[in-house]
A and B are shown apart, each in its own frame.
Chain A
Amino acid sequence: MLKINNLHVKLEEEDKQILKGLSLEVPAGEVHAIMGPNGSGKSTLSYVLSGRDGYEVTEGEASLDGEDLLDMDPEVRAAAGLFLAFQYPVEIPGVGNMTFLRTAVNAQRKARGEAELTAGEFLKEVRAKAAELQISPEMLKRPVNVGFSGGEKKRNEILQMAMLSPRMCIMDETDSGLDVDAMRLVSEGVNALRSPDRSFLVITHYQRLLDHIKPDVVHIMSNGRIIKSGGPDLALEVEHNGYGDLLAEAD
């Protein structure tokens, strides 16, 4: 599904290298987790994969089902099935959450040559999915992320993910700032989406989330590279011992 090979990325505006030869492969149907200290480049990776401005790829490639991702506009990547749940979801004043979702869903359907959802179809679907995530109808009417609590923002990201049914879901620290109940809701939301033709790349600091969303592979990232990959046990190891040993080993 997602293949990243020897990816080197620097900031466009400064001479700062952030990703330094990162390679990663997430096959269809699998859940991979990325853990790593702050500043190792996890968010940068997720932004570069979804096409945000401000970064320059100096070497390497990334593809989704064999198609070069790095040449596509962000909206083309989205229509191709890539989704990023943001670490810091963006507020859009004056734009109803529902309007935003509907515009997004139909933009993608249109780009893929599918018929747009009617108002009725859309409402039915969004209400059902919002209810599962305990997102109130009132929150659906409010402007996108404006005045949402940290947990509400994250649940809203998962709602978008559920509505857009992407094939490749990247989640950037979706668990930070969530209380136990919200964590359970989000994990259930994600687990419900797991399927043989959908993959997840879950960026997290905590083993906690991985108790709910069982990963197939855990990658440890540091200083712009994957320094170690392994099974779910690797996350437990980090939880108990911290990154210290792993980092020393890599050096």
Chain B
Amino acid sequence: MTGTTDLDVREGVDRETVETVQNMGSYKYGWNTEIEMEYAPKGVNEDIVRLISEKNGEPEWMTDWRLEAYRRWITMTEPKWAMLNYPEIDYQDQYYYARPASMQEKPKSLDEVDPKLLATYEKLGIPLKEQMILAGVEGAENAPAEGRKVAVDAVFDSVSVGTTFKDELAKAGVIFCSISEAIRDHPELVKKYLGTVVPATDNYFATLNSAVFSDGSFVYIPEGVTCPMELSTYFRINAENTGQFERTLIVAEKGSSVSYLEGCTAPKRDIAQLHAAVVEIVVLEDAEVKYSTVQNWFPGDEDGKGGIYNFVTKRADCRGARSKIMWTQVETGSAITWKYPSCILRGEESQGEFYSIAIANNWQQADTGTKMVHLGKNTKSRIVSKGISAGQAQNTYRGLVSMHPRATNSRNYTQCDSLLIGDKCGAHTVPYIEVKNTSSRVEHEATTSKVDDDQLFYCRSRGMDEEEAVALVVNGFCREVLQALPMEFAMEAQALVAISLEGSVG
């Protein structure tokens, strides 16, 4: 009986894909919301850093932390080792702070909310009640909920505009709020953990983020608590020429568990926009964190104009024994992707998993992978990477597996598959493997193949058009990773796989 139910659900998922593909345009999120914005002047300097800190109502220790990062950043140079080609970024030609003007005062009812902001949420598929809460409408928490239960924190340009289901989460002791709220309301927790996984000095982009991050999400799961619902953040870049620098901090205390989803969209623009986020995750004894991303920032147009430059530092520190982190990412957007979600396996018997789908079409370039740093005994890691290249795109898997001397009896398994659609794109695999003890084992398998004409013809001879056929075959290629996603996201991800490959054949 269980098997049957399972099958029914799966079928529903795939049907959804096909429908979504048929109903969507080439970039679903390519609209732009014309909302009145409040900007800080262009460029970055100590004054801008202070201004961001002040706008967020931060205490002095936080301002100092940012300033220290800024002073460090100006001594650093942008890394160039990735297989990415893009014009020089002018860091002084960006806005580092922007927020919807309507957020300055909380509205009393939906009527007072900028209708365009609401339209934005609707297009993102956020249920009405959650829309009300996000818009900050008083009493919205008590409105009846419809549909799925996922707590959402929405970050609109640089500012968190609201978090849903806060009360319900609070009952379980879970803290889910914007990082600026956390700095104000839970300074002891933020002080204890911020920058301990990704230090402010870590790398060029992370250091810039440390200086200028304007908002992001904070999650705290107390000891022994299983978070009662999925937590989700929507990041959206809207204002033109705005860099978005969000900062996420997740702390899972002993024996706790949480599943966190991150979705990203940005409107179509012909100028490239900078995005440099940092995510830090602390996983203590026996705790488990599952972090899933569906990244669909604007990839640029068919001629390679515009798009998001995405330089992200994501790292989880499995500090406790038997702790577990699972990263799952579906990277379909961005003109440039520079991203290596990593696992520091410090606790004995801790486990890290990385499941990735990276799709690069047209002129997109992706350099993405993971780092598995085994420090503790009997630690285990697993990497499953599926790279799809189409058009003129370049897709690189870059992964480090490192077994330290004390990480005895540890294991890694890496499976890295590349699929090429057409003959003008490229796929590259760059594995780094270091084993510094004799009892650990590292296994690496890699394949590169072209999308199979016989498979496409077989699908078409059964009635599917060419794009549907490609979507089906590619979704099959990605199946292992799609299955690692929470069900809600799996549907969206399958649809995205199809959409992002539109125009790649014929």
Give me the interface of A with B, judged by CB distance under 8 Å.
Answer: 50-53, 73-75, 77-79, 83-84, 86, 89-96, 98-100, 102-108, 110-111, 119, 122-123, 137, 140-141, 143, 160, 164
Contacts and interface: CB of A to CB of B under 8 A. Distances in A.
B462 interface: yes
Given A102-B14, A122-B11, A141-B7, A93 B461 contact: no
Interface of A is mostly: helix
B458 A86 contact: yes
Contacts of A110: 22
Interface string B466-481: 1010001101111110
Interface residues of B, number: 34
B79 interface: no
Interface centre among B3, B22, B458 (most CB of A within 10 A): B458
Nearest to A78: B463
Given A92-B472, A95-B473, A98-B7, A104 B15 contact: no
Interface stretch (B44-52, B190-198, B449-457): B449-457
B461 A95 contact: no
Contacts of B14: 96, 99, 102-103
B293 to A, nearest CB: 21
B461 A100 contact: no
A53 B454 CA distance: 10
A79 B468 CA distance: 15
B125 interface: no
Given A53-B453, A122-B11, A107 B465 contact: yes
A98 B468 CA distance: 16
Contacts of B4: 137
A78 B457 contact: no
Contacts of A100: 459, 462, 472
A75 B465 contact: yes
B18 interface: yes
Given A103-B472, A107-B468, A143-B476, A50 B461 contact: yes
28 contacts: A50-B461, A51-B461, A52-B457, A74-B460, A78-B463, A83-B461, A90-B455, A90-B457, A90-B458, A91-B455, A92-B472, A94-B475, A94-B476, A94-B478, A95-B475, A98-B10, A99-B472, A100-B472, A102-B15, A103-B14, A103-B472, A106-B18, A107-B18, A107-B468, A110-B22, A119-B8, A123-B11, A141-B7
Contacts of B468: 103, 107
B82 interface: no
Contact of B463 (A91, A108, A119, A140): A108
B89 interface: no
A107 B463 contact: yes
Contacts of A96: 10-11, 14
Contacts of B460: 51, 73-75, 78
Contacts of A52: 457, 461
Nearest to B14: A99
